[in-house]
Chains A and B, each alone.
Chain A
Amino acid sequence: MVFSRLFFIYLFFPICFLCYFATKKTSYRNAVLIVFSLLFYACGDISFLWLVVASALVNFVLGRGIDKFRDKAPAKAFLALGLVLNLGTLVGFKYTGFFIENLNNWFSLSIPVPDLPLPLGISFFTFRTVSYLIDCAWGKVKAERNFFTFLLYVSFFPITISGPIARYETMQADLHQRRVSADDLSIGFGRIAVGLSKKVILADRLSGIVDQFLGNDFTTQTTLGVWYGVILYALQMYFDFSGYSDMAIGIARIFGFHLDENFRHPFLCKDITEFWQRWHISLGTFFRDYLLYVPLFGKRRKIGGLLLVWFCTGLWHGASWNYIIWGIYYGLFLMLEMGIGKKGMKKIPAVLRHLCNKIVIIVGFGIFYCTGGIDQLGDMLLAMAGQNGTGWLDTMLVTSVQNNLFLLMAALLCCFPLLELPKKIMAKNPAANVALSVTGTVLAAGLLVISSILMVDATNTPFLYTKF
């Protein structure tokens, strides 16, 4: 099940809401959330529900073990075991086929390639359990003492299948004691409306245009047509994923959980380093905190760690070479920026910096799109470089821009922090506060209604990040 379905918004969520607020004690409320979280997962992929529960059980025991033997050898053994089990499960399900395919290709072998199904959300809940074990080992958090509380942490439905990769440290306090204020509800509902509209009104509409321009052979598409398609794909990815994150944060907030932001207007970045501080923040911080400074590379750990992080970031997104190339591509640009240094970067005119990083980001999304293999990626890059012999512009592009002009303008506009100015005004003037608050509510309600109508026609448009 995904958030952008009528079944979720108008049946699952309201029932969960009523059950949750029918109880008062945190322990009962946790029980309600566990039941609905498991139901939510079962609706999406009942065959691997056991894996979520098993993951919670194993990591709970390992966490307790680490806590009990803190600073002693067994703690390290528990941590090592936890990492092997968690990452082994992830690698086993997600990458076995990919590895064997490549082994077969490289060494002319004929090892049968298993067709393993990918458990829903495994990349997300595995990283959350890994962060928990490492934090336990580093003493950043105390191991959870109640299994059911930990089960809720692992299975919490707003974030199980598509993130954000919320850490135990962030959720610990709320898991044990929380109260829901009117502000929590108001913010939560607002985030749901905004997130849903990002997905249904923007991302899903952009998706159709992206398919028109990137869904066919790149050798027949014009240069500007490919650029247009890739730019819209970048916007689609942003609104799809940030829309999901908004909804996840909003739903969690309604139940009293305060999750960290996962996106901060990434396309406003001044350089690539800043882009990754604004895009999928929970993944970036995970790798930064747990992988960047792993002492694997001795004196060259800065560069080695960076490349490892970006190799892993790419691979995390999927078992496909284009993701790995995409990760290393970003790693190289980050190294370049590191080499230039902060002072050096500041000397570059702002316009040029913005232009350069946007080109890098757009090409990056192009690489990300090409799951069809190296040939497809090559065709796309040739087309973007104007080297496929199809010309720059055609009627279809002009028509598409014309037909979708308002959608494109809305999408570009929504990349900016539109709410900042109203917030500042509201903070100073009670009259403006009332007017803008009412306006915001009307807008949120309108967006929710429009999204709901559009959902009647969009019964099967999953969030893109659920497949990672």
Chain B
Amino acid sequence: MDENNKPQSDFDLDAALAEKFQQVQQDANRLRAMNDNTDTPASSPVPEPTEVPQEQPEPETGSPAPEPESPEEPAATTKEDKAAAKERKARYKLKRQLLITNRIGAVVRIFAIGTIIFGGSIFLLVGTRPTESAEENRKLATPPGFSLEALGSGDYVKDLMHYYEDTVPGRSSFKHMISKLESYQGLQGEDKVQFYGNIAPVKKEETADADSRTTTTAPVASGNRSTETTTATTIVTEPEPDPVEIGDGIVLVDKRAISIYGGSFSRGEKYAATLNEYKKQLGSKVNVYSLVAPTAVSFYLPDSYAGYTGSEPDNIDHIDENLKDVKAVDAYAALAAHTDEDIYARTDHHWLPLGAYYAAEAFAKTANVSFAPLSGYTKTTLSGYLGSMYTFTKSAVLQENPEDFTYYTPHNQYTTQYYDTNFTNERDGKLLISLDNVEPVSWYLVFMGGDEKITHVKTDVTNKRTLVIVKDSYGNALVPYLTQSFSDIYVIDMRYFDLNAVSFMQQVGATDVLFAMNTFSATGGNSECLETIRTQ
């Protein structure tokens, strides 16, 4: 670091060199004179310079800090004088070389750094700016519209800066470079575990029990449901913290990114209470089901990291215990039996269509409807799936290890209609959309193309049972497998629904209502939407 910042006058290399040259010449003359007449003291033909230039090159440029020269001694007459003159000459030479090399070094540095800054400026100004990011699955910022009001409030400049930085030419390539650079922070090979985001040891939630106190955070990742018993009464000693959302904390292990689960018994109780209200309003003729899907954390997080996640099976059990007349679908057990298959994405937070198949099978059994084996579907596999977990982590390990995305198209006959979220604007849709022009990160959108709509699937099944699925994105993957089980299927997303849900269910003549979502939704913020659409 520069610790010598005293002001200095502008440096003149030529003048300095000229002066040095003059001194060297004088020394040479003196030496010559001594050689000519060693008995007579040599006299200098020109006045002796009394000091060397005061310019001191900066230490940061690697330059020396030459010592100021003392005034010249009288002409050399002895051997010592000769030696001193020689030494002075050598010093002059060294200083001259250092001055030149310093100046060259400075110019090279100015040129190098200047080229990067000004070259970068030109690149950022003239390069083609992307409009969307496939990896992040979002549209990038657009140039802000100018107005005096926006300028005055500072919004225009902020938006301009955001646009400039959000749409860097070659953004995608730079993001990949960042992933690679970040992987050099430490030992981050494919065999190493990595943490992303907010992860902390889970604070154990204690439950009241007259005889014993048990914790609800049982070891997970064993693939087996915990046999630990808990009571229904929860002591809440602190305010309810914000729910943990998918992506808040991620553990990358065995090339799989796993979102850490928070869990909340009290939120689970609210979820169960809301479903109980639905059942009460819909009456005994309508079957109501709750399918809370576990996520990958239940099956793939090594035991040694179990202390950093809440227990999904415990939270699901707790919900099920609080349901009244609502049938619980045991998706956990259905999935736990197939953990050696590709039931969860490694690079995305969703389950894979195969995982949804096993959960749908468990639901069909609970609902007592027929269910087609996998042979009743056309299997389509796409390679290069790099889902949302890559967006969250930007992990080079995930980037270098994309996965396959396999989905199943039912063989039976059905038609699909889409509606707006207020059940208007009916139009033809597709249960499984084409992924030809869809970026790999968005392949999970294959099911109905997303969430912000109401979907009606009319099938060739003749059991006259009408199913309404109230779901988050996990529920989307269930729909294809139920086309051979119900005559009509209506799919609504609890986050994007503008009507009263109970009235809607009654309007479409629902015989069965399935609430299908993952544990993060059931015990997180999304569950509040269930109450909102019930009462709005």
Contacts and interface: CB of A to CB of B under 8 A. Distances in A.
Contact of B198 (A5, A185, A211, A395): A211
A398 B65 CA distance: 47
Contacts of A179: 9-10
A445 interface: yes
Contact of A433 (B62, B117, B125): B62
A436 B113 contact: no
Contacts of B508: none
B118 A456 contact: no
Contacts of A45: 154
Contacts of A14: 117-118, 121
B153 interface: yes
A396 B192 CA distance: 12
Interface stretch (B172-180, B311-319, B376-384, B439-447): B172-180
A445 to B, nearest CB: 5
B171 interface: yes
Majority secondary structure of chain B interface residues (helix, strand, loop or mixed): helix
Nearest to B93: A430
Interface stretch (A309-317, A366-374, A420-428): A420-428
Contact of B203 (A46, A220, A426): A220
B1 A264 contact: yes
A246 B113 contact: no
B181 A453 contact: yes
B149 interface: no
A187 B60 contact: yes
A268 B290 CA distance: 62
Q: What class of interface size applies to chain B in its complex with A?
A: 35 or more
Interface in A440-466: 440-442, 444-445, 448-450, 452-457, 459
Interface stretch (A123-131, A189-197, A337-345, A349-357): A189-197
Nearest to A405: B186
| Residue of B60, B125, B307 with most partner-chain A CB within 10 A | B60
Question: Looking at chain A's contact residues, is the secondary structure mostly helix, strand, loop, or mixed?
Answer: helix
A173 interface: yes
A456 B171 contact: yes
Contact of A440 (B103, B109, B118): B109
B181 A402 contact: no
B105 A7 contact: no
Interface in A186-206: 186-187, 189-194, 205
A406 B184 contact: yes
A249 B57 CA distance: 17
Contacts of B200: 212, 215-217, 220-221
Given A264-B3, A396-B195, A459 B162 contact: yes
A46 B157 contact: yes
Contacts of B10: 179, 181
A379 interface: no
B186 A406 contact: yes
Contacts of B304: 395
Interface in A350-391: 390
Nearest to A422: B62
A43 B181 CA distance: 30
Contacts of B125: 11
B198 to A, nearest CB: 6
A258 interface: yes
A261 interface: yes
Interface string B293-317: 0000000000011011000000000
B104 to A, nearest CB: 7
Contacts of A427: 59, 62-65, 98
A258 B110 contact: no
B11 interface: yes
Interface in B99-128: 100-110, 112-114, 116-118, 120-121, 124-125
Interface string B31-68: 00000000000000000000000000111111111000
Given A179-B9, A220-B202, A444 B113 contact: yes
Contacts of A405: 185-187
A215 B109 CA distance: 41
B105 A191 contact: no
Nearest to B394: A457
Contact of B105 (A216, A403, A404, A438): A438
A42 B154 contact: yes
B533 interface: no
Interface in B210-227: none
Given A192-B113, A427-B65, A434 B11 contact: no
A43 B113 contact: no
B175 A457 contact: yes
Nearest to A213: B200
B113 A6 contact: no
Contacts of B178: 453-454, 456-457
B201 interface: yes
Nearest to B59: A423
Nearest to A426: B62
A246 B63 CA distance: 19
Nearest to B96: A430
Contacts of A1: 161
Contacts of B120: 9-10, 452
A448 B192 contact: no
Contact of B174 (A178, A265, A400, A453): A453
Interface string A260-284: 1101110000000000000000000
Q: Which 8 pairs from chain A and chain B are nearest by CB?
A: A427-B64, A437-B105, A426-B62, A216-B200, A186-B106, A189-B113, A430-B97, A405-B186
18 contacts: A7-B160, A10-B117, A14-B118, A190-B113, A217-B203, A249-B5, A258-B5, A258-B6, A258-B8, A263-B1, A395-B304, A396-B195, A419-B60, A423-B62, A428-B64, A433-B101, A438-B105, A452-B120
Given A249-B2, A441-B109, 6 more contacts: A216-B200, A222-B201, A403-B193, A427-B98, A437-B105, A441-B108
